[in-house]
Amino acid sequence: MTEAILTLNAGSSSLKFALFRVGRPDTLALALRGEIEAIAAHPHFQAWDADGKALVDERWPDAAAGGSQPLFEKVIDWTEAHLGPDRLIAVGHRVVHGGPDHAEPERVTPELLAALDRITPLAPLHQPQNLAPIRAIAAARPDLPQVACFDTAFHHTMPAVASRFALPREYEAMAIRRYGFHGLSYESIASRLPDLAPALARGRVIVAHLGNGASLCALNHGRSIDTTMGFSALDGLVMGTRPGTLDPGVILYLLQERGMTASEVEDLLYRRSGLLGVSGGISSDMRTLLESPDPRAAEAVDLFAYRIAREAGGLTSSLGGLDGLVFTAGIGEHAPPIRAAVCQRLEWLGVVLDPAANERGDALISAPQSRVEVRVIATDEERMIARHTLASVEQT
């Protein structure tokens, strides 16, 4: 019988999962992976074995009644039914916010769950999605170890000058600071760089994690020194349904002058803005926008690329120059027009794209004369979670 680890990665638009077989010494072989995408609209459930052979492909016309809970249960039941001779030894979870106190992966206990629940207001779109399956599994399988892996953890290496807000000191004591997110994704990319691009592993690199949520991370020698997301997953780039950086004066104005309630503003910022809002409600999904003939879709796409380039300029300053740019996550890995638009805006930095390599989605998409090496690397948050989970269960 082989031991296996299940990973669950609940994002804002998808639930991704994977099953890894544990070999000795400490190798993790992918057994299957899958996802439910468009969880809030028309859920689409797919899974593949390690060779990419499809195991399931189901669509549900409407989001499940009762939110994501029935979808989590479906994934867990389906995975258990496909375990075969494997024995599940642990489940690892992506948990978006670890707050100030959780800088390393941790075994789930009732105390940890209560602490993570208390920081839900800092990540209202994600934390409930992350904690719900932990609770469901704890109730159904109380003896099965679970490990929480935090999206904020990788950024604990940021210097104070990058994590501090210019607020009075007492607010910093209330843990109001910039945390950064998508840390498991950045850790996954940083862990691949020594093999894929050794010079970049030692250099100054911006990683663009462009999914439904989107952010940039400045890596120096593989460590995060700055990132575009802050206290919450609202800051920085334009995202599927979030505006990214917004003058806080707008929020005061909406509350004080336009009579909006705090929860209406929350809904506006987390669910109605970004690509969805700017496109006039066409879609938060980049595929739909790239295919749409509506000029508002093109304006949303243009703003998305403009803001990536603008923030990349800022992070280049944080890094003191730029050696590499890496695109990853749903849009970064699969949307050549977005990569082209960003690279064109960064030509002043010495970025020269190889258009054919970009269209093919090659690993290296910059031209030989480019001063900045531009790469596409598939993020593997699932393997990162599995590694942390294995290390955590072996320690105890």
Binding site members for Mg(2+): 9, 381
Taking the complex as a whole, the smallest distance from the CB of residue 73 to ligand UVW amounts, in Å, to 20
Taking the complex as a whole, the smallest distance from the CB of residue 11 to ligand ADP amounts, in Å, to 3
Per CB under 6 A, 7 contacts ligand ADP: no
CA angle in degrees (0–180, nearest 5) for 236-234-316: 15
H/E run at residue 19: strand 14-23
Per CB under 6 A, 151 contacts ligand UVW: yes
Per CB under 6 A, 182 contacts ligand UVW: yes
# residues near Mg ion by CB under 5 A:
2
Residue number with CB closer to Mg ion (46 or 220): 46
Contact 55, 30 (CB under 8 A): no
Per CB under 6 A, 332 contacts ligand UVW: no
Instruction: Report 351-380 residues binding Mg ion (CB under 5 A).
Output: none
In terms of C-beta density within 10 A (0-12 exposed, 13-18 middle, 19 or more buried), how is residue 289 classed? Answer: buried
Q: Which of 88, 90, 96, 325 binds ligand UVW (CB under 6 A)?
A: 96
Contact 5, 93 (CB under 8 A): no
Contact 327, 358 (CB under 8 A): no
Annotated binding site: 9, 16, 94, 209-213, 285-287, 330-334, 381
Q: Which of 4, 158, 297, 331 binds ligand ADP (CB under 6 A)?
A: 331
If contact means CB under 5 to 8 A according to the sort of partner, which of Mg ion, ligand UVW, ligand ADP, none does residue 335 touch? ligand ADP
Per CB under 5 A, 240 contacts Mg ion: no
Give the span between the Cα atoms of 58 and 61, in whole angstroms. Answer: 10
| CB closest to ligand UVW, residue no | 213
123 DSSP 8-state letter: S
Cα first-last separation, the chain:
21
Taking the complex as a whole, the smallest distance from the CB of residue 68 to ligand ADP amounts, in Å, to 12
224 DSSP 8-state letter: E
| CB closest to ligand ADP, residue no | 330
Q: Which of 105, 203, 211, 222 binds Mg ion (CB under 5 A)?
A: 211
Length of the chain: 396
194-215 per-residue burial string, b: 16 or more CB within 10 A, e: under 16: eeebeebbebbbbbbbbbbbbb
Site string for ligand ADP, 211-250 (x = CB under 6 A): xxx--------------------------x----------
Q: Which of 335, 349, 365, 390 binds ligand ADP (CB under 6 A)?
A: 335
Q: Which residues pair with 45 in a beta bridge?
A: 36, 58
If contact means CB under 5 to 8 A according to the sort of partner, which of ligand UVW, Mg ion, ligand ADP, none does residue 151 touch? ligand UVW
CA distances from 113 to 132, 151, 354 (A): 10, 16, 48
Structure tokens at 285: 């999904």
Give the span between the Cα atoms of 224 and 190, in whole angstroms. Answer: 9
Of 129, 112, 128, 109, the residue nearest 120 (C-alpha): 128
Per CB under 5 A, 124 contacts Mg ion: no
322-334 per-residue burial string, b: 16 or more CB within 10 A, e: under 16: bbbbbbbbbbbbb
Residues labelled catalytic:
151
Residue number with CB closer to ligand UVW (152 or 316): 152
If contact means CB under 5 to 8 A according to the sort of partner, which of ligand UVW, ligand ADP, Mg ion, none does residue 334 touch? ligand ADP
Contact 74, 47 (CB under 8 A): no
Instruction: Report 310-329 residues binding ligand ADP (CB under 6 A).
Output: 329
Q: Which of 6, 10, 11, 34 binds Mg ion (CB under 5 A)?
A: 11
**How many whole angstroms from its chain centre is CA 56?**
24
Instruction: Report 187-216 residues binding ligand UVW (CB under 6 A).
Output: 211-213
Give the span between the Cα atoms of 285 and 288, in whole angstroms. Answer: 6
- Please give the residue ranges that form the binding site for ligand ADP (CB under 6 A): 11-14, 211-213, 240, 285-287, 290, 329-331, 334-335
- Please give the residue ranges that form the binding site for ligand UVW (CB under 6 A): 11-12, 96, 126, 151, 181-182, 211-213, 233
